[in-house]
Amino acid sequence: MHEIVASAKQLAQSVRELTRKHNSWFKESIPLIASENVMSPVAREVLNSDLNNRYAEGLPFKRYYQGNIYVDEIETICENLAKEVFSCKFADVRSISGTVSNMAVLMALTKPRDKMTTVALSDGGHISHAKIGATGVRGVRTFNYPFDEKNMNIDVEGAKRLIREVKPKVALFGQSVFLFPTPLKELNGVFEEVGCTTWYDAAHVLGLVAGKRFQDPLKEGVDVVSGSTHKTLPGPQHGMIISDLSKDGLETSLRRGVFPGVTSNHHLHSVAALAVTLAETKEFGEAYADQTIKDAKALGGALHERGFNVLCEHLGFTASHTIVVDVEEYGGGAKVAKALEKANIILNKNLLPWDSDPVRPSGIRIGAQELARLGMKENHMADVSELIARVVVKGEPPEKVREDVIEFKRQFTKVHYCFYEGEEAYDYPAYDGDIV
């Protein structure tokens, strides 16, 4: 038993102070995690509302609780916006995260012991696609596509062979290290040949798809698309599922997969914030996706010029928001990511396809979507890469570089590509004084 040394008031006050410290730290940091973003002022307003306190189950106008008069309207607007932004026939906006969306799709499309082809974790696949994650919880057996390490993409001929051999119930695509579009068109004939359903986890690239700057998996024939809604789509931590209902029964099974399959209440404040984000995407999504990809490519080039081994130089480094750097020569991903964190440069270590030790990744993953959201353009990527290089290549003390990071970041604390553009991204309402 631990001795309790602080009162409840002190503990609550500590949490407030730690949260404020976190907010200030991120305001003074360069955010490069490829799965994060900052929300718009209106999305934040509705997220922090009474909707957070309420319950709804089921679908709009067919609920199990009273009190949903306005919730039903909000959710209907959200679904309709999702269908419009992604030009599709079906959208379910109730899953409470990307992984929960994936669990719902697994419930809808598979049974325990079914076979599914997937991208391996070391090749950038997501943990929920793997045996150790949600897919394993469903009891689905996974088989990984051969991967083309040079081009950081699925090997088309190898994937055709695998799909013909395994005859999966479902072929799943989509990655957490997602540099280039998946070769769906090249594989389409094989899906038909073996009669599998196709599923694409677009969590990382959802905003780029919405902005029409990345492959549109539904238009390329995929049956179901899932995703989280807070990466390149800069919304709340939530999930969604879209489809053109290309197969009989899909609508019912997807709806049941979400509820009662893997959710009860579906976080109504997040649905409202997602609706606002989708409305802003309708208005600003193309310009935002455009700038995000330009920034990612420019950052790849600027890091390469400073001596970094940025993968896929021959392909322009990336066609998405993400670049990947092999930092083995500087001590590996963990060491580099920790040193950069001390300089207020926030990114993550990442396994590369050739890594044999899963706990010692040789790479780092960098996303440009939050930089673009904060107003950075291609010309600012030289500054960002120079700050990274000073820590990693030139070996300057991170604490010294941090002073320049803070100075640089002062220009970029406001949120763009949204209504009330130019509002502070990191300032949150707070009561004066301590808890009394």
- Asked if 322 interacts with ligand DSN (CB under 6 A), we say no
Question: Can you list the pairs that 425-434 forms with residues at least 24 positions away whose Cβ atoms lie under 8 Å?
Answer: 425/27, 425/38, 425/373, 425/374, 426/23, 426/24, 426/26, 426/27, 426/38, 427/23, 427/27, 428/23, 428/44, 429/48, 430/16, 430/20, 434/13
CB 98 → ligand DSN: shortest distance, Å? 5
42 versus 134: smaller Cβ distance to ligand DSN: 134
- Asked if 35 interacts with ligand DSN (CB under 6 A), we say yes
Size of the site for ligand DSN (CB under 6 A): 4
- Asked if 350 interacts with ligand DSN (CB under 6 A), we say no
- Asked if 101 interacts with ligand DSN (CB under 6 A), we say no
- Asked if 37 interacts with ligand DSN (CB under 6 A), we say no
74 versus 242: smaller Cβ distance to ligand DSN: 242
Q: Taking CB under 6 A as the rule, which mask of x and - marks residues 123-152 in contact with ligand DSN?
A: ---x--------------------------
CB 227 → ligand DSN: shortest distance, Å? 10
CB 353 → ligand DSN: shortest distance, Å? 16
CB 35 → ligand DSN: shortest distance, Å? 3
- Asked if 98 interacts with ligand DSN (CB under 6 A), we say yes
C-alpha 64/C-alpha 104 separation (Å) is 20
Structure tokens at 376: 């950075």
- Asked if 31 interacts with ligand DSN (CB under 6 A), we say no
56 versus 206: smaller Cβ distance to ligand DSN: 206
Considering Cα of 402, then 407, then 408, then 412, what sign does the dihedral take?
positive
C-alpha 240/C-alpha 326 separation (Å) is 33
Q: Please identify which residue in 118, 176, 281, 291 interacts with ligand DSN, judged by CB under 6 A.
A: 176
Q: By CB under 6 A, name the binding residues for ligand DSN.
A: 35, 98, 126, 176
